[in-house]
Amino acid sequence: MIKPHGSDTLNPLFVYDVDKHHELSHEAEGLPSLLLNSAAAANAVMMGAGYFNPLTGYMNLADALAVAENMRTADGLFWPTPVVNLTKDIEAVKGHKRIALRDPNVEGRPVLAVMDVEDVEEVSDSQLNLIAEHVYGTTDPEHPGVATFMDLGRFMVSGPIQVLNFSYFQQDFPDTFRTAVEIRNEIQEHGWKKIVAFQTRNPMHLAHEELCHMAMDRLGCDGLVIHMLLGKLKKGDIPAPVRDAAIRKMVEVYFPPNSAMVTGYGFDMLYAGPREAVLHAVFRQNMGATHFIIGRDHAGVGDYYGAFDAQTIFDEKVPAGALEIEIFRADHTAWSKKLNKVVMMCEAPDHEKEDFVLLSGTKVREMLGRGEAPPKEFSRPEVAEILIDYYQSLK
């Protein structure tokens, strides 16, 4: 099986030993507490689940700046985006070397992790702007990722953590949330050797489904891991339970048995385009995938990134050998009226735009809201039915 990033074995930060877990949970109740924001909590979940291997905790300012500028930590580890714990208020933990990190997304604010504090550093406006400019490619406050990042706080609390739970993800998505450890185990149980991963934060229409089939066929893959984001999205995105139901129905009906896993991970979307595409590749390698599909405007938003920037970054800025996972580069896929099948648009040079069945997201939402299924060349009827029910429920 493919090695995880940065180490020979996966080293999740979740405390699996029962006695140690009990001991830490008891200790945490007596420690000074820091209430995390959702972004820092998601980082803890990802470290606990092994997706952010080989990180041992939150980065300090020097590492965050080095990663933003050069995609390497100060000691040389390849990493695409800062993994930080920014906060607005440090009064409760000032001067303390061991603290409890509390979950902002679960009622009662339970302890998410225990942290050994190595540094508490104030971050300047210029440093925040530098990080945003490199990671998001912009400091525009209208960019949802930038807006979230710039509002997290000015104090960076860094140091190793021990994770005690996976926030709301296990409880809310018991059939879908999986750690990198669990996905590696399931891949081994399936007997898969070559595995392609597909990232989604949306329901999968026919073009997405066919793209996955194309990748599996062309790469000679034994299995597909559909890996959906279960954390916080931007306003207007379809909620995770609805996406989950739609994707599961698609796999049940249109994929052979033992060929596809439907899973999810606990992270908040960054909308960081190319940098987030590289981060996505890192944690797909950590969960055991050998290949990862990256399509047009992967992890993008608005018009902030070029259509294929998330692919070219692997040529231009990811050093050879930095990652073992291989990228499957995809163009926009759509139904060809000439060929009566889904094709990558770049592979149909004799086509004009009108030769494809193309619907905007706005148009699809309007149709679903009226109770109309999109054409069968765009969406499977079983998927459309689930989405119609959701949009009708909003009325």
Domain ranges of the chain: 18-167, 177-265+271-393
**How far lies 90's CA from each of 7, 77, 356, in Å?**
33, 29, 55
Q: Which helix (DSSP H) or strand (DSSP E) does residue 63 occupy?
A: helix 61-70
Superfamily holding 177-265+271-393:
HUPs (3.40.50.620)
Alpha-carbon distance of 95 to 85, in angstroms, equals 17
Beta strands 356-357 and 333-336, pairing class? antiparallel
Name the catalytic one among 154, 201, 248, 365: 201
CB burial class (10 A; 0-12, 13-18, 19+) of residue 3?
middle
Active-site pick, 98, 154, 202, 365: 202
User: Any residues with CB less than 8 A from the CB of 287 and at least 6 apart, and which?
Assistant: 50, 51, 178, 180, 183, 184, 197, 225, 227
From first to last of its 395 residues, the chain has per-residue pLDDT tens of 999 999 999 999 999 999 999 999 999 999 999 999 999 999 999 999 999 999 999 999 999 999 999 999 999 999 999 999 999 999 989 999 999 999 999 999 999 999 999 999 999 999 999 999 999 999 999 999 999 999 999 999 999 999 999 999 999 999 999 999 999 999 999 999 999 999 998 899 999 999 999 999 999 999 999 999 988 766 777 888 899 999 999 999 999 999 999 999 999 989 999 999 999 999 999 999 999 999 989 999 999 999 999 999 999 999 999 999 999 999 999 999 999 999 999 999 999 999 999 998 889 988 999 999 999 999 999 999 999 999 989 87
Report the b/e string of 59-84 with b at 16+ CB within 10 A: bbbebbbbbbeebbbeeebbbbbbbb
- Determine whether 329 is an active site residue: no
Fold for the domain defined by 18-167: Sulfate adenylyltransferase (3.10.400)
Of 272, 316, 234, 228, residue with least CA distance to 82 = 272
Q: How far apart are CA 310 and CA 329, in angstroms?
A: 9
**What does pTM read for this prediction?**
0.94
Are domains 18-167 and 177-265+271-393 of this chain identical in fold?
A: no
Active site residue 202: yes
User: What is the radius of gyration, based on Cα positions, of the chain?
Assistant: 21
The torsion of the CA quartet 241, 237, 12, 44, rounded to 10 degrees, works out to -110
